[in-house]
Amino acid sequence: MAAVHGDAHGHGHDDHHPSGIMRWITTTNHKDIGTMYLWFSLAMFFVGGTLAMGIRAELYQPGIQILEPELFNQFTTLHGLIMVFGAIMPAFVGFANWQIPMMIGAPDMAFARMNNWSFWLLPVAASLLVVSFFVPGGAAAGGWTFYPPLSTQGGLGVDLMIFAVHILGASSIMGSINIITTILNMRAPGMTLMKMPMFVWTWLITAYLLVLVMPVLAGTVTMLLTDRHFGTSFFNAAGGGDPVLFQHIFWFFGHPEVYIMILPSFGIVSEVIPTFSRKPLFGYSSMVYATASIAILSCFVWAHHMFTSGMPVVGQLFFMYATMLIAVPTGVKVFNWTATMWRGSMSFETPMLFSVGFIFLFVIGGFSGVICAIVPIDIQVQDTYYVIAHFHYVLVSGSLFALFAGAYYWLPKWTGRMYNETLGKWHFWLSMFFFNLTFFVQHFLGLAGMPRRIPDYALQFADFNMVSSLGAFGFGMTQVLFVYIVINCIRSGEKAPQKVWDGATTLEWTHLPTPAPYHSFEKPPVLK
């Protein structure tokens, strides 16, 4: 703790402790930094959400209503980038900063100053992304995936986006190195790797993935930058380059990236479900191995995003089979969560509701993913709203619902106060209803052939788009309730009891004792 409360020799500097804003700017405390990550990601969630509202407002009816096509494209581009790099990833890093040192018994993160720096890079990058709206040409070119040749033509906005992605990548790599070092070197005596909480395991594996693929993204956008300004032809066919090469390199980053956004979710859900089932997690070691398998396999499936880009049939077959193989370890996880709940002494507080909702909806997203993995079907639904429905089921009802579950689960630990349980349940049920209203109908739109990233559409798509837009506005409004619940909890929530959740709680457990064996006709014992 010397790093936090004094100099290297432990001499306290209590009279020099900065207060007010300087405390937050200069802090090296993992809890403060975790808190800043979480507030930052919440702010960016609303920025990205506002862009999504704009997109859905335009699509409420056919014809051009509010947004010109150019501006509509900028909304879709920045909605994607801000939600992925500004909302989901920093939120998980915030959870990691708060929880990992406490879960493994470490005094703080390994590199406290670097931890501070990796956070303060984020507001800079976010500002660049937002500013790219207001420069000539905007940020539209190539979508959030930066595809050339569009992105080699765009204006200054594309350069700002490239620079922002570089900074975000640097932040992610520093955060990951910090997490890996902390977990491997700073565990309390007796905390072996196979005794770590699942959340710590999922983050360890995620951090390795980030260190692996973030430099790939940095290299890709650097090649794009040199194509744009220094006369190279990496992706320019006229100069002997290949635009499809960009897709290969980008998706070699982009596919592990979607698992980077879901593995910590698995970790959170693996903490919440045992608590509210009052049973240890079923199949702990198989969960660890499944997480590692998902991470390894995720590096071999990138070209399933590119089935329509003209690859040989042998390539299509390889990526099809590899993609379907990933469903196996993912299925292991789902069955383990189900087995954890089986015959447990269950209760349904808000964190558990979000976790069960996560499993249900994530499985739907997983099924549509397996459908997209089948080459002939993918060729039909590629670039339609079916794909949008698929990845929002994975990233909204996946990552976001898990984040909500974790937030409600650990809020009493972070703030010392209880949130309003009734409002929390309202937040869950409204989110669940409006989420499905928004995205389930998009499967039908996609199967009927409605292309994505298009501001206008044929009359046949009008009804489902209206339903989807109404759902989106409802979902957006519901998230304001979440902010109210959090602020209300911090300001005036009841004091949290020592044991927040009845039974096992993260306040005092790493692993539960194994229950005494019982016969199927007896009621299972409740672990206290």
User: Residues with catalytic annotation?
Assistant: 79, 108, 144, 171-172, 255, 257, 259, 270, 304-305, 330, 333, 452
User: Tokens representing 225?
Assistant: 């930058």
Peptide bond into 264 cis (omega under 30): no
**370: in domain:** yes
- 311 Cα distance to chain centroid: 30
Number of domains the chain contains: 2
Q: How far apart are CA 284 and CA 448, in angstroms?
A: 43
**372 plus 455 within the same structural domain:** yes
Report whether 132 contacts 62 (CB < 8 A). no
DSSP 8-state secondary structure symbol assigned to residue 83: I
- Strand locations in 148-196, DSSP E? none
Mean pLDDT to the nearest integer, 207-225:
97
Q: How far apart are CA 135 and CA 415, in angstroms?
A: 41
136 band by pLDDT with thresholds 50, 70 and 90: confident
Last residue of a domain, one of 206, 236, 253: 253
**82 plus 46 within the same structural domain:** yes
Peptide bond into 62 cis (omega under 30): no
275: phi then psi, degrees, rounded to nearest 5: -60, -45
* Nearest by Cα to 49 from 410, 422, 435: 435
**523: in domain:** no
Q: Say whether pTM exceeds 0.75.
A: yes
509 band by pLDDT with thresholds 50, 70 and 90: very low
**313: in domain:** yes
**243 plus 269 within the same structural domain:** no
Cα dihedral 467/472/473/474 (nearest 10): 90
Picking from 55-59, 150-154, 259-263, 362-366, which range would have the lowest pLDDT averaged per residue? Answer: 150-154
> Tokens 């980008």 map to which residue?
250
Q: How many CB atoms lie within 10 A of CB 440?
A: 17
153 band by pLDDT with thresholds 50, 70 and 90: confident
Cα dihedral 287/291/294/298 (nearest 10): 170
Q: Is 12 helix (H, G, I), strand (E, B) or coil?
A: strand
**321 plus 383 within the same structural domain:** yes
**pLDDT score recorded for residue 414:** 95
Q: How many CB atoms lie within 10 A of CB 123?
A: 14
Query: Rounded to a whole number, what is the distance in angstroms from the first to the last CA of the chain?
Result: 33
State the sign of the Cα–Cα–Cα–Cα dihedral 201, 283, 262, 269.
negative
Q: How far apart are CA 40 and CA 124, in angstroms?
A: 12
- Boundaries of domain holding 172: 21-253
**310 plus 234 within the same structural domain:** no
**4: in domain:** no
15 band by pLDDT with thresholds 50, 70 and 90: low
**227 plus 338 within the same structural domain:** no
In this predicted structure, the answer to whether residue 3 has a pLDDT above a threshold of 80 is no
In this predicted structure, the answer to whether residue 292 has a pLDDT above a threshold of 60 is yes
**pLDDT score recorded for residue 499:** 86
